[in-house]
Every structure is written in C-alpha cells, then in structure tokens.
Structure 1
Amino acid sequence: MNTRTLARLGALSLLAAAALGASAQEAQIRKNLAERLPSLPKIDEVSRTSVPGLWEIRIGNDVMYTDDKGDHIIQGQIVDTRTRANITESRLNKLSAIDFASLPLKDAVVIKQGSGARKMAVFVDPNCGYCKRFEKDLAAVKDVTVYTFLYPILGPDSDAKSKAIWCAKDPAKTWRDWMLSGVTPPRSMGDCDTAALERNVAFGKKHRVQGTPAMVFEDGTRVPGAIPGAEVEKHLAESSRKS
C-alpha cells in the first residue's frame, strides 16, 4: 500500500470520526432540550454553524442556536463582522423560499405589464389594506408578468370578493378596478368553479404564508409585506440575474 493510499484512508477515517462525533452531539442536544424544555416544538434539524461550538436548531422555518450540549438557547441573529453578512437572515430566506416552478400558475389571475418579460407572484387578500397600497406601487412596475394568487384569509367577505373576481369575465381588470379604484366586483351569475381559491389557501398554508401581501420571485426569494415599487424592481433585477 503506497503513501498516497495510506493518506487517503487516513483522511477518510478522520471524516468518519468527525461524522460520528457530530451525530453523537446532535443526539445529545436533542435529548437535553427535549428533557429540559418539554414545551419546545419538535426539532426538525440540528446542524453546525460556522461559529465554533454553536449549533443551529431548526423548527419549521424558524431557527435558534445552542451550544454543544444544549445547555443554553440563543434567539437572535448571527452577523459575520468580516463581510457584514447576516447569516441568520440568509438562512431564513433560504428556508422560506418557494420554488417558482412549483407555483400552481393556472390558479392565478395573470396581469401582464409592458413586455411581461420578468415574472413574480403575489399572494393577496382583496380586503387587505396593505395589499391595496402595494397594488398601486406594483401597477407602476414595467415589463413584468404578475401572477396574483387570490388568498382570502381575512374573513367571509374576502372569500366572497375573491370568488366574484375569479369568476368575472375579465378577472385581471376586475381585480385592479377593485384594488385601485374601489369598484365593487360584480357578484357571479351562474356556475363558476372556484376550487382554485381553495387550492391557493392550501398551498399558502403548506408554505406558511401567514400574511398578505406575500411575494415570490423567479429565483425563489420570498418577501412578505407591502414593499415599495423600487424594492420590487430590485428583487426583479436580482432574480433575473440569478435565473
């Protein structure tokens, strides 16, 4: 057996030992936290961070930190002082991202502005005041196709308005007329399949869309809240570069 082979076997042994050590520490952290904090929700993942001795605990899309033994819990943000990168924010963005290709676009009201070359999706409730403010800014953004997912979560009237908009002869115009000008959507006459709205709510709940508006860009970036048009433009530009 030559020197190179011995070195390779030695490196593999070290990696295996490190993996076993990490697995044992993860088990210890899970055990200690479960015993000491019985009200803590089920831990989905325990993983090392780039900070020596600090571990990330993931519960759903939320993260906390602990030491090697689970003796302490830390809630807060980790910032790399060398690069000024917010490590926690980057991690949360990754966890909350939604693959644009997974969006059920057939269940969205499609609004094309300009060339429509860029794409984004937004989950909205017709009775959401922030959504109305956001819609005004969004309407000024150029060359974008907006997939508007009606997401009636604020009450029965939201559901009724969403159905009226979805069933309208021109859903996109009816949506904008209501959001920008306050023109009440005409009540649907006759049969209309509104199962898309139920699918939207189910999809949103699955991905923990808890408020409106909530945007998803082509690169999977998810942004909650009514951000200004300039920020929408920034995200569209970034997602276009990544795509």
Structure 2
Amino acid sequence: MPLKPSLLFSVLCVASLSACAQAPSSDAAEGEKGAAQASAAAPAPIETRPGTPEDRARQAIESINPAIQIDAIAAAPLPGFREVVVGGQTVYVSDDGKYLLQGSLFDVEAKRDVSQAGVAEVRRKLIADVPEGDRIVFAPTNPKYTVSVFTDVECGYCRKLHQDIAEYNKRGIAVEYLAFPRMGLNTPDYDLMVSVWCAPDRRKALTDAKEGNRVPPRTCDNPVARQYALGQRVGLTGTPMIITESGVQMPGYMPPDALLAALQQVEAADGG
C-alpha cells in the first residue's frame, strides 16, 4: 500500500529541514534580515524535460512537499528508478513516478553504499561555491587535507574539536569553518555567531566564543544565515559536521588521529 501523504511529508521534512522548519518570529530586525539572507540564497528550482522519468520523479517529490528543494535527479543504480538528492539525502522514485524508496542502496558485489555518491557530489559542489572570505580558516602551511566544518559556538563537541585545532593542523589538516547556529535564526546563538563573523579578527573571536569568553556584539553584512541554510541543504543533523573536499561526510566529531586516518581512507577510496 502506498505511504500516506502525511508520512511521506514527514520523510521529506527530515530530508530537507529548510523546507519544513518554522520561520523565525518577525519581532527582531536582525532575525528578519537573517531570514531574508537565507531566502535570497535559495537556488532556482531544478528543471526537467516534460514526459521524462526525471520529470515524473520531480513531480512525485513536489506532490508530497511543494516547498522541498531538489538538488539533483539522475539515473539510479536500481533499474527502473531515478535517484533524487534532497536535503543531503538520497531517495529513489520509480520511473513512472508512482513509488518512492528511502534508505541506503548497498552494492553487494562492490561492498559499498552506492546511495552516497550522488549526495557527496552535491555537497562538494555546494560547499565549493562558498567564497573563501566567508569561511574562518585554521590551516597549516601546504595542508595535505582540507575539511569544511559546520560549527556552532555552543555545542560541546564543536568546542572539543576547536581545542585541538593546532593538533589537526600539525597532521596536515586545514579546517575551514562554516557557521551553523543550531538554535536557529533570531536567537542569542545566531547573534553571537554574527558577532564572530563580523569581528576584525574572526579567528580570535571564534576561539573566544568557544572558550566562553565575551565577544563584543557586532553586526555587518555577513554569511551566517546563508551558511545556516546551506547546512540544512547538505543534510546536517548535528554539529560539528565535517565534510571532505570530495563531499564525503565524516561521522561527527573525530579526534585528530582518527580524522587523519579517515581522510587517508577516503583518499585511497577516491583513487588518490
């Protein structure tokens, strides 16, 4: 029996928090500005040719949740289905648009999860589009690896990661921070991260914030709301979210040696 619309709506809300999250309240000018920045950064809807399996897949997704942002539609490893990337997750829609499958697709012969390749490529492209000047970078000279880290100034594991930032750098790992105020826009958490990104010395301000030290309140034209929306779009479910240059998501916080080993493994799998 087909899934009920309400259940499928919930499934796709999980896949795309930005499409389903409650909008911030309208009683604070900075929160309104942040919401407007996030909205302005929203991409144009994906286009498909009428009568194609891709078009039927798009229509099927939009019939469940018209607000959802589809990032990619392509042929699936599963015959008779299209692979659709939404909110940092992969779902599969039958070529006639009638059925939707959600979950990992494991290639038994290759012994790998083939549902992650499309998601990783979407993440790679989206994060590559973030201007270097919008990131807060802690990097060694000539880094061997670079990771993008969606961070919050309040979360314990984000602070734990930053305490060892010099150790990551010693292992040849550059850390490029992106903002994700996990309490949402128009919150004290968001305001603090705006103050960090607007500080004359962002690196010092970020370190101060993560150590619980006072950061002078500031406002400016900043990327915090845009990066918050980006985090939702790439499937962030918790901070810190660590993503490799090839778009592979690491399993949450990892100590320096563990992250280095994981990056070496990803490099080997990518043929590096």
**Interval of TM-score (by shorter of Structure 1 and Structure 2):** 0.5 to 0.7
- Indicate how the Cα distance of structure 1 residues 169 and 183 shifts in structure 2: closer, same or farther if over 3 A, else same: farther
TM-score scaled by length of structure 1 = 0.65
C-alpha deviation, 1:58, in angstroms: 4.3
- Report the Cα distance in structure 2 between the residues aligned to 1:161 and 1:26, rounded to whole angstroms: 46
Map of 1:69 onto structure 2: 96
- Report the Cα distance in structure 2 between the residues aligned to 1:222 and 1:87, rounded to whole angstroms: 14
Q: 1:226 is matched by which residue type in structure 2? A: Y
C-alpha deviation, 1:76, in angstroms: 1.9
Residue-by-residue CA offset, 1:34-88 (whole Å, 9 max, x unaligned)? 7xx9434469565432333333344454332244434432222211111111111
Map of 2:155 onto structure 1: 128
Q: 1:147 aligns with which of 176, 181, 201?
A: 176
Which residues in structure 2 correspond to 1:1-243 (within 5 Å)? 24=51, 26=53, 29-30=56-57, 33=60, 38-41=63-66, 44=70, 47-59=74-86, 61-98=88-125, 101-113=128-140, 115=141, 117-118=143-144, 119-141=146-168, 142=170, 143-154=172-183, 156-166=187-197, 170-179=201-210, 182-187=211-216, 194-196=220-222, 199-206=223-230, 208=233, 210=236, 211-223=238-250, 225-237=252-264, 238=266
C-alpha deviation, 1:129, in angstroms: 2.3
- Report the Cα distance in structure 2 between the residues aligned to 1:27 and 1:165, rounded to whole angstroms: 42
- How many residues end up aligned between the 2 structures? 212
The unaligned stretches of length 5 or more in structure 2 are 1-48
Q: 1:130 is matched by which residue type in structure 2? A: Y
Maintained 8 Å contact 2:57/2:82? no
- Report the Cα distance in structure 2 between the residues aligned to 1:166 and 1:158, rounded to whole angstroms: 13
- Indicate how the Cα distance of structure 1 residues 222 and 200 shifts in structure 2: closer, same or farther if over 3 A, else same: farther
- Indicate how the Cα distance of structure 1 residues 161 and 101 shifts in structure 2: closer, same or farther if over 3 A, else same: same
C-alpha deviation, 1:213, in angstroms: 1.9
Maintained 8 Å contact 1:165/1:185? no
The share of aligned pairs that are identical, in percent, is 21
RMSD: 3.9
Map of 1:11 onto structure 2: none
Maintained 8 Å contact 2:81/2:92? yes
Map of 1:6 onto structure 2: none
- Indicate how the Cα distance of structure 1 residues 227 and 68 shifts in structure 2: closer, same or farther if over 3 A, else same: same
The unaligned stretches of length 5 or more in structure 1 are 1-21
- Report the Cα distance in structure 2 between the residues aligned to 1:70 and 1:128, rounded to whole angstroms: 41
C-alpha deviation, 1:125, in angstroms: 1.6
C-alpha deviation, 1:186, in angstroms: 3.9
- Indicate how the Cα distance of structure 1 residues 79 and 233 shifts in structure 2: closer, same or farther if over 3 A, else same: same
Maintained 8 Å contact 1:29/1:69? yes
- Indicate how the Cα distance of structure 1 residues 123 and 178 shifts in structure 2: closer, same or farther if over 3 A, else same: same
C-alpha deviation, 1:126, in angstroms: 0.8
Residue-by-residue CA offset, 1:151-183 (whole Å, 9 max, x unaligned)? 43425322343344445564424433442xx34
Q: 1:144 is matched by which residue type in structure 2? A: I
Q: 2:213 is matched by which residue type in structure 1? A: T
